[in-house]
Structure 1
Amino acid sequence: MCGIVGTLNLTKDHPIEVPNLKRMLATIRHRGPDEFGIYTDAHVGLGNARLSIIDLSTGSQPIANEDETLWIVFNGEIFNYVELRPELEARGHRFRTTSDTEVIVHLYEDFGPDCLRHLNGQFAIAIWDKRRRELFLARDRLGIRPLYYTVTDGSLIFGSEIKALLATGRVRAEIDPTSLDQVFTFWSTLTPRTIFREIFEVPPGHYALAHDGQLTVRRYWGLSFPTAGEEDSRSEGEIAAELRELLIDAARIRLRADVPVGAYLSGGLDSSTITALIRNYTSNYLQTFSIAFSDPNFDERKYQERMADFLHTDHRRVECTHADVGHVFPDVIWHTETPILRTSPAPMFLLSQLVRENDIKVVLTGEGADEFLGGYNIFKEAKVRRFWARQPESKLRPALLRRLYPYVPQLSAGGGSYLEAFFRRGLTDITDPAYSHQIRWRNTARLKRLFSAEQRAAVTAPDPVAEFTATLDGDFARWSRLAQAQYIEISIFMSEYLLSSQGDRMLAAHSVEGRFPFLDHRLVEFCSRIPPYLKLRGLNEKYILKKSVSDLLPADVCQRAKRPYRAPIHHSFFPPKGVLPYVDELLSPAAVAAAGYFDPQAVARLVKKCRRGRLVSESDDMALAGVLSTQLVHRLFVEEFSVPTGDDLHPLKLCTG
């Protein structure tokens, strides 16, 4: 985990100033507080805020090749750097460090952008080619590490977080109405958009080349699935065995570090699998970390303790209360840099704080298993609804949905009848390419009733779903129904929310690096070829994973039905005693009207309902989180963004060319 920043003169000769780069780095110093580095010449400035994990003594950045014609700043880890280095040495390259960063610059020297195909890792990369006057920016295949950019007044400005761009004083934060409309449909913007006008992300699996005044963005990797019926035809046992071998190696290489490595342990199948692999196949001493909730509706501590005892890990736990969520929410939004419709990142913020307090810089987690192995209820819902659509008047078929949501009667009046009415919407639209997700998107989009007339009128693409489905290529229609649903979930929710707002940003807030064995690209490509019936066997999710690791885990953990990770919302912002001043201020009619995104009267009705705390629905909770987080984004980035000087960055390495 690090942070990178930079600026390049595309068509105008602006001064490349060290103080400007220092200000950019100062805004993201939480990503890498250990040391800082800057490279400048007449055309470009590069900066790095380093979290020292590999090659602690000589791995400081920026790093150059042998003749200093290529300079790199890098955020992330290349897990196969150990294997790549001797290959490069055999080709004549000379190394000054033992870092993974230097491996990248030599690979680029030989292969150019094709070097990315050699990398197994999570990364955001910037390489300046002095001879060609060309800047190369790249992001890992799945978007684990962020990378943002904008082009303004003849300059390309980039950084690991948007606040670094704003720190230049040349980029203004302005919430894009169309992007906000997307957030209130998908929970995130569609790549390459961000919430801010004219600020973009390098999409996952893409690189950008800036040369001769032009910026070109190209794809080097894309998620794909076989044609339905042409998946891996080997036996169940053979597939399970290869899955296990790939998982073992993915976990093994993600333990490479010159600092202690810990693991998150939620008590579910995915994190338990990763922890069990570490304990069974390595000699690593292991600290594990988990979140507990004071509210029993969200608490899973008994399963966490079960696994910690079973695997004999040194376990730590943070207990999260309603008040904790409300207290840290402004900090959470400072780091997400985008509105969110859930409070789930807040406990993750507290968890990474606990990790750092225990002097751990790196944790392995279980993200990716649900997406690539069919673990989410949304996949089951689509399967049941297609079955139900064959007999729309059946009373027995929709009853299967109740098995997925045993807690719904506690959340919504009506229980089973509520579920049936909810999932009946669009039931027979089975030819819709986004059938699996349409019902969720439509439900979320109902929150737009809170938008102001001005916000509605300013949206330039009023059908975000059509905008997304238009990007689906011809192969999509040939995939299995489960593969189609997985692709949508991975492309939007995982890359744009789970790995960002709930992942990288909450880890980086406390200078912690997350590593994700299930997102090893070898494993991802293997899982894409697994037949759907081995992922979702009836309504038994992640069937092949359970078969693959059943001997490593207690049966009750291995076979336990997945329960979604959730966090409290309205109780967190409207406590039974006292008030949260920032909530009352930002949701006041005056503040809502001044920001201009929402109808003050509609928000006032929502606030009144949530304050009473009776019959508050899931939709109300989403609306509250969405409105409050949007108001916070407006306050923190549009109205009151302040820029640190960066004069206290230490130690600071300065390089010139």
Structure 2
Amino acid sequence: MCGIAGVLTLPGGERPDPSLLARMTDTILHRGPDGRGHHVDPPVLMGMRRLSIIDVAGGDQPIGNEDGSVQVVFNGEIYNYRELRAELERQGHRFRTASDTEVLVHLYEQHGDAFPSYLNGMFAFALHDRTRQRVLLARDQIGIKPLFVARLPGQLVFGSEIKALLASGLVPRELDHDALAEFMSWEYVPAPRTLFRAVRKLEPGCTLAVDLRSGEIVERRFFDLPPADAVEHRSEAEWADRLDVVLGQAVRRQMVADVPLGALLSGGVDSSMVVAKMGRDALTFSIGFDDASYDELPHARRVAEALGVRHEVEVIRPDVRTLFDHLMQFMDDPIADFSIFPTYLVSRLARRHVTVALSGDGGDELFGGYDTYVAQGMARRWQRLPAALRSGVVAPILDRIPPRPQKKGLINKAKRFVEGARLDPALGHARWRLFLESALRSRLFTGAMAERQTQQPEAHIHRYMEEAEGRDPVDRALHVDMKSYLVDNCLVKVDRMSMACSLEVRVPLLDLEVVDLAFRMPSSLKLRDGATKPLLKEVTARHVPRESVYRTKQGFSIPIKHWLNDTFRELTDELLAPERLHADGLFQAGTVEALLAEHRANRANHSHIIWAMLVFQDWQRRWGVSL
């Protein structure tokens, strides 16, 4: 695992001082504290920081082919590199290291720009072909590893984190107002945008080919999810057996490392399944909170004991105010997901013992694990009720009931369901993820902010819904989440928070063979009669106690709605002060004050909106962004 960065000078552009490469890679030291390497061959500057995982002694980068005409800097892991290497050696290629990185240059020689489609792994890389005077950038099929790009007059700047691009001194720090509306609405910015107007994400499964002679830049997609007509018909028993085997193969593939390896265990279905497939020698890590409704330690302990694995735990009572300042350093591409806190803390615990950890991320998006999918089914029955009963009786009663202090509960879930059911049904299940709907958006944003928006924040959902035309409702929802919520929120959280601890986290449930299998099985095996993940649970129950599998899903979160009223109150008053909001000209101070008052009086839970504003305000101040 590493971090990469670089600058490509295009025709007519001024070549920068090569010393800026050190500045860029120094900003991502946490991604690779074990070493660094630079490739300086004007007009190409490419650098990297290395976290040594495979071929610790011999895998330093950049790595080239036999004559050095092709050079690569690489972030990630290639899980099928041994098979690829064996085939390349049969075709006459000679290797000088035992690393997975070297496979890339020889595979490029063999297959050209199409070679990323042969890779099973998580990756982002930059490859320079000196002979053909071109550079190829690529990002893995699912988007597990990030890659940011800024196309500027005469230059293209890239890196694993936006802070590396900013360190070049070439990228303007200007706000993208459409991205802000998306961020406030969804708690993340959908690809390809970022909050910086000049910076874009290379989308998953895409390459960016740069011709250094002509300046032509061509983006191509080399991967997409299996199409709607790929669904196969087998018996449920056959699907269960096949899934059991494929999951085991994926976990074993991702356990290859020359350094200590463990797993993050929440006690939920996905992480429990991963640990079960690792075997009894697994080393697992869990954290808990002193708030019982947020504490999953008993569930994790039960699974660890049943599997007979070594289990390290820590009950967290962190100084979250200080922790906020630390974590925001890694949020130059921010998300407003509360669970950055527990993700960072469990990563920090794991890093004391191992360099690599497996996690269960991706199971919900592949196998139907979210309540939003259940809510969408319930909404169809809800709409059959008389409108007078829905709008005149049930909804007003729930509106008057204050939110309960616990994490979920029947009242909180019912209130959230009714809130989402009022929104545009064209958004499908995603309406229960929309935290800033259009009516509140119009009251929260100033007129000046609204005038700068060129599209609606829901546009990406509609785009992915159209892409998934032909799939049934469940698979359509999964398609949307795989394309956006997973890659632009969940995987960002895991990447940023684990790499902040110099910990590599791997996600076997997003192995390409698992993804392919999931989109070939009928949706009835992913959601059935309001029950989530029926097939994955059935398979997991073969290895883990049934009471651990068939329990209420909690999720990985923190008591943020309470912390906003005490621990973060001073920060909230500072960052959301009326005079500051007036000066910035983005948010209506009166609306913000009303939201804060309702939240603090427990008349409503506005934690998602308040937290998103806090994260944005800190981001803008921290990175000196022009509004």
Task: Please say if residues 289 and 355 of structure 1, whose CA atoms lie closer than 8 Å, have aligned partners that are also in contact.
Answer: yes
Alignment of 1:220 onto 2:222: yes
Task: Please say if residues 208 and 216 of structure 1, whose CA atoms lie closer than 8 Å, have aligned partners that are also in contact.
Answer: yes
1:452-489 Cα offsets, whole Å, 9 max, x none, are 3322221121x232454246556x22111101111111
Equivalent positions of 1:352-391 (< 5 A) are 352-358=347-353, 360-391=354-385
Task: Please say if residues 58 and 97 of structure 1, whose CA atoms lie closer than 8 Å, have aligned partners that are also in contact.
Answer: yes
- 2:528 aligns to what SS in structure 1? coil
1:180-221 Cα offsets, whole Å, 9 max, x none, are 011122322221111110200100111100112021111111
**Quick one: which amino acid aligns to residue 436 of structure 1?**
H
Distance 1:300 1:470, change over 3 A: closer
Q: Which residue of 2 aligns with 1:115?
A: 115
Superposed displacement of residue 426, structure 1: 5.0
Q: Which residue of 1 aligns with 2:157?
A: 157
Superposed displacement of residue 549, structure 1: 2.7
1:118-176 Cα offsets, whole Å, 9 max, x none, are 11100001100101110100000111000001122300100000000000111122221
Alignment of 1:615 onto 2:602: yes
Task: Please say if residues 188 and 492 of structure 1, whose CA atoms lie closer than 8 Å, have aligned partners that are also in contact.
Answer: no
Work out the CA distance in 2 between the residues paired with 1:115 and 1:244: 29
Superposed displacement of residue 566, structure 1: 2.4
Give the counterpart of 2:622 among 632, 636, 639: 636
Alignment of 1:135 onto 2:135: yes
Task: Please say if residues 55 and 258 of structure 2, whose CA atoms lie closer than 8 Å, have aligned partners that are also in contact.
Answer: yes
In the superposition, the TM-score normalised over structure 2's length comes to 0.92
- 2:541 aligns to what SS in structure 1? helix
Distance 1:637 1:445, change over 3 A: farther
Alignment of 1:199 onto 2:199: yes
Distance 1:194 1:480, change over 3 A: same
Q: Which segment is superposed worse, 334-343 or 14-23?
A: 334-343
Task: Please say if residues 266 and 272 of structure 1, whose CA atoms lie closer than 8 Å, have aligned partners that are also in contact.
Answer: yes
1:8-35 Cα offsets, whole Å, 9 max, x none, are 1112353353310000001111000100
**Quick one: which amino acid aligns to residue 514 of structure 1?**
V
Task: Please say if residues 21 and 47 of structure 1, whose CA atoms lie closer than 8 Å, have aligned partners that are also in contact.
Answer: yes
Work out the CA distance in 2 between the residues paired with 1:66 and 1:446: 61
Work out the CA distance in 1 between the residues paired with 2:96 and 2:603: 60
Superposed displacement of residue 545, structure 1: 1.1
Equivalent positions of 1:178-577 (< 5 A) are 178-211=178-211, 212-227=214-229, 231-279=231-279, 285-321=281-317, 324-358=319-353, 360-392=354-386, 409-410=404-405, 418=415, 421-426=418-423, 429=425, 432=426, 434-441=427-434, 444-445=437-438, 448=441, 449-461=443-455, 463-466=456-459, 468-470=461-463, 472-473=465-466, 476-500=468-492, 502-575=493-566
Superposed displacement of residue 224, structure 1: 3.5
Alignment of 1:99 onto 2:69: no
1:202-257 Cα offsets, whole Å, 9 max, x none, are 00111100112021111111124424xx7221111111111111100100010000
**Quick one: which amino acid aligns to residue 602 of structure 1?**
T
Superposed displacement of residue 347, structure 1: 1.7
1:238-281 Cα offsets, whole Å, 9 max, x none, are 1111111110010001000000111000011110110111016x
Task: Please say if residues 263 and 289 of structure 1, whose CA atoms lie closer than 8 Å, have aligned partners that are also in contact.
Answer: yes
- 2:71 aligns to what SS in structure 1? strand
- Root-mean-square deviation (CA, aligned residues, Å) is 2.5
Superposed displacement of residue 316, structure 1: 1.9
Q: How many residues are paired up?
A: 612
Task: Please say if residues 23 and 168 of structure 2, whose CA atoms lie closer than 8 Å, have aligned partners that are also in contact.
Answer: yes
Distance 1:134 1:226, change over 3 A: same
**Quick one: which amino acid aligns to residue 616 of structure 2?**
T
Task: Please say if residues 362 and 510 of structure 2, whose CA atoms lie closer than 8 Å, have aligned partners that are also in contact.
Answer: yes
In the superposition, the TM-score normalised over structure 1's length comes to 0.88
**Quick one: which amino acid aligns to residue 214 of structure 1?**
E
Superposed displacement of residue 117, structure 1: 1.3
Work out the CA distance in 1 between the residues paired with 2:166 and 2:559: 32
Distance 1:562 1:416, change over 3 A: closer
Distance 1:302 1:445, change over 3 A: farther
**Quick one: which amino acid aligns to residue 425 of structure 1?**
R
Distance 1:236 1:330, change over 3 A: same
Distance 1:259 1:99, change over 3 A: same
Q: Which residue of 2 aligns with 1:404?
A: none
Distance 1:538 1:413, change over 3 A: closer
Work out the CA distance in 1 between the residues paired with 2:598 and 2:154: 49
Q: Which runs of 5+ in 2 are unaligned?
A: 395-401
Superposed displacement of residue 85, structure 1: 0.8
**Quick one: which amino acid aligns to residue 364 of structure 1?**
L
Distance 1:167 1:367, change over 3 A: same
Give the counterpart of 1:592 among 555, 569, 581: 581
Work out the CA distance in 2 between the residues paired with 1:268 and 1:288: 13
Task: Please say if residues 13 and 43 of structure 1, whose CA atoms lie closer than 8 Å, have aligned partners that are also in contact.
Answer: no
Task: Please say if residues 3 and 31 of structure 2, whose CA atoms lie closer than 8 Å, have aligned partners that are also in contact.
Answer: yes
**Quick one: which amino acid aligns to residue 160 of structure 1?**
S
1:601-655 Cα offsets, whole Å, 9 max, x none, are 3333434454xx431533x101111110011110111269xxxxxxxxxxxxxxx
Task: Please say if residues 421 and 431 of structure 2, whose CA atoms lie closer than 8 Å, have aligned partners that are also in contact.
Answer: no
Superposed displacement of residue 68, structure 1: 0.8
Distance 1:332 1:225, change over 3 A: farther
**Quick one: which amino acid aligns to residue 380 of structure 2?**
R
The structure, 1 or 2, with the larger RCO (C-alpha pairs under 8 Å, 6+ apart) is 1
Work out the CA distance in 2 between the residues paired with 1:595 and 1:193: 22
Work out the CA distance in 2 between the residues paired with 1:214 and 1:259: 41
Distance 1:471 1:231, change over 3 A: closer
Task: Please say if residues 225 and 483 of structure 1, whose CA atoms lie closer than 8 Å, have aligned partners that are also in contact.
Answer: no
Task: Please say if residues 564 and 607 of structure 2, whose CA atoms lie closer than 8 Å, have aligned partners that are also in contact.
Answer: no
Distance 1:347 1:439, change over 3 A: closer
Distance 1:417 1:308, change over 3 A: closer
Q: Which residue of 1 aligns with 2:17?
A: 17
Q: Which segment is superposed worse, 161-170 or 301-310?
A: 301-310
Q: Which residue of 2 aligns with 1:648?
A: none
Distance 1:215 1:379, change over 3 A: same
Superposed displacement of residue 90, structure 1: 0.6
Task: Please say if residues 289 and 315 of structure 1, whose CA atoms lie closer than 8 Å, have aligned partners that are also in contact.
Answer: yes
Superposed displacement of residue 331, structure 1: 2.4
- 1:464 aligns to what SS in structure 2? coil
Work out the CA distance in 1 between the residues paired with 2:189 and 2:41: 35
- 2:179 aligns to what SS in structure 1? helix
- 1:601 aligns to what SS in structure 2? helix
Distance 1:48 1:416, change over 3 A: closer
**Quick one: which amino acid aligns to residue 505 of structure 1?**
R
Work out the CA distance in 2 between the residues paired with 1:416 and 1:333: 30
